[in-house]
Amino acid sequence: MKLVIGLGNPGRRYQQTRHNVGFVVAAEVAKIAGGDSPKVRFSGEFAEGSIAGTRVGVLCPTTYMNASGQSVRKAVDFYKLDPADILVVCDDLNLPLGRLRIRPSGSAGGQKGLADIIRHLGTEAVPRLRVGIDPAPPGWAVPDYVLSKFKPGEQNTIDDAIGRAAIAAADWAEHGVDYCMNRYNGSPTTQ
């Protein structure tokens, strides 16, 4: 089994914010996997389907971003998964809007949900798919920026990135991280 984890914050207040890009990508991956409707499991919303004959779980922790590791640990323990069999999808304010970056491991790079997952799993060898949301503009506090909604002029770019990220996550489940790095780690126009 492969597990795709979308990071975000639960509740209406956080819907469509920059920090919830992971939730939106995960919902698209669940559609591609064509499985069951999400159920409350592992302190999150969990759905299961398949991609190219591989069982794929999709988990959106409802523990709030900074405590995502609790939910992920429960699912990893239940299915006895190696960290290499999970893909964390999250926002990244260090990447330009719409840019994707897939890596097999590394630091959290300031992403607190990813940092909590790394802490709970005890390893940085956790594949991740980052979706660029642009750096905070001058005068903006980072927490306020990541919890803001996309501007109308940004919506087409982020919608396209979400679609590409969902396909990238499906490709990860079928072909692995190296394939996805080669295919999706360029500028949006080459992806």
Q: Would residue 175 show up in a list of annotated catalytic residues for this protein?
A: no
Residue linked to tokens 């089994």: 1
Residue linked to tokens 């920059």: 18
Instruction: Give the residue among 96, 90, 101 at the shortest CA–CA distance from 154.
Output: 96
4 near 26, Cβ under 8 Å? yes
> What is the C-alpha to C-alpha distance for residues 189 and 183, in angstroms, rounded to an integer?
12
92 CB-near residues (< 8 Å, 6+ apart): 101, 109, 111, 130, 131, 132, 133
The residue annotated as part of the active site, out of 3, 4, 5, 19, is 19
Residue 140 CB: number of other CB atoms within 10 A?
12
Convert 27-47 to b/e letters by CB count within 10 Å (16 or more is b): bbbbebbebeebeebbbbbbb
In sequence order, what DSSP letters do the residues of 3-44 get, joined into one string? EEEE----SGGGTTBGGGHHHHHHHHHHHHHT-PPPEEETTE
Residues tagged active-site: 19
